[in-house]
Amino acid sequence: MLGRLVGWFGSTADFGMQYFLDPSAFYLIGRTLTAAFGAATVLLVYLMARRRGDRERPDGALLLTVTAMHVENSHFITSDVPMTFLVALALYIAMGFDARTWPKFAAGAMVGLAMAMKYTAVLTLPFLLLANGFWGVSAAARPATG
């Protein structure tokens, strides 16, 4: 759409033909997006540690930064990296579950998008259910105010 608005492509056929003439722009877009998702995943892991209270020890984010598989998959165009970002985002949202329902829907939507990327993200669902259950137990244990 951007190429059509700017005037790079006159039609969708021109856009499709560009891939066959010189696909380097398509690879650059895909690799840039995948690398951005990889970097954002590292940031999310760091934010999860801060939310948990580990302000001085970003060990998880540091380890993810140098993990060979994450670095390699972030370098190429793979579905693993965006899926991992969406799973991490769902878990980050789940860390803040409370009485409101929108965080639960948002976390579920993130897992749904992650499952659209790669079906193995379905393994995140039990953890979201546990997080919701733990919130319910901790809410019931709190003294009533008012």
- Structure tokens belonging to residue 3: 């190429």
Residue 52 CA, chain-centre distance (Å), reads 19
Where does the pLDDT of residue 141 fall: very low under 50, low under 70, confident under 90, or very high at 90 and above?
A: low
Better-predicted residue by pLDDT, 130 or 84: 84
Counting residues of the chain whose pLDDT is more than 90, the rounded percentage is: 29
Alpha carbon distance 92, 66 (integer Å): 21
- What is the reported pLDDT for 59? 83
Q: Pick the closest to residue 2 from 27, 25, 24 (CA basis).
A: 25
Does the pLDDT at position 142 exceed 70? no
Q: Are 41 and 81 in contact (CB under 8 A)?
A: yes
Report, as an integer, the average pLDDT of 106-121: 92
User: What letter does residue 120 receive in the DSSP assignment?
Assistant: G
- Distance CA(48)–CA(40), nearest Å, equals 12
What is the chain's length?
146
Mean local confidence (pLDDT), 92-121: 87
First-residue to last-residue Cα distance in the chain? 55
Triad 136, 138, 141: Cα angle to 5° = 110
What tokens appear for 136 in the block?
A: 């319910």
Q: Does the structure show a pLDDT above 70 at 45?
A: yes
- What does R_g of the chain's alpha carbons equal in angstroms? 20
* Residue pointed to by tokens 């060979």: 68
> At residue 7, does pLDDT exceed 90?
no
pLDDT, one tens digit per residue, over 51-103 is 877 666 778 888 888 999 988 988 889 899 999 999 999 989 888 777 677 88
Write out pLDDT tens, residues 10-28: 888 888 888 888 888 889 9
Residue 137 pLDDT > 90, yes or no? no
CB atoms within 10 A of CB 71: 13
The whole-number pLDDT of residue 146 equals 47
Q: For position 41, what pLDDT does the model report?
A: 94
Give the model's pLDDT for residue 140.
Answer: 53
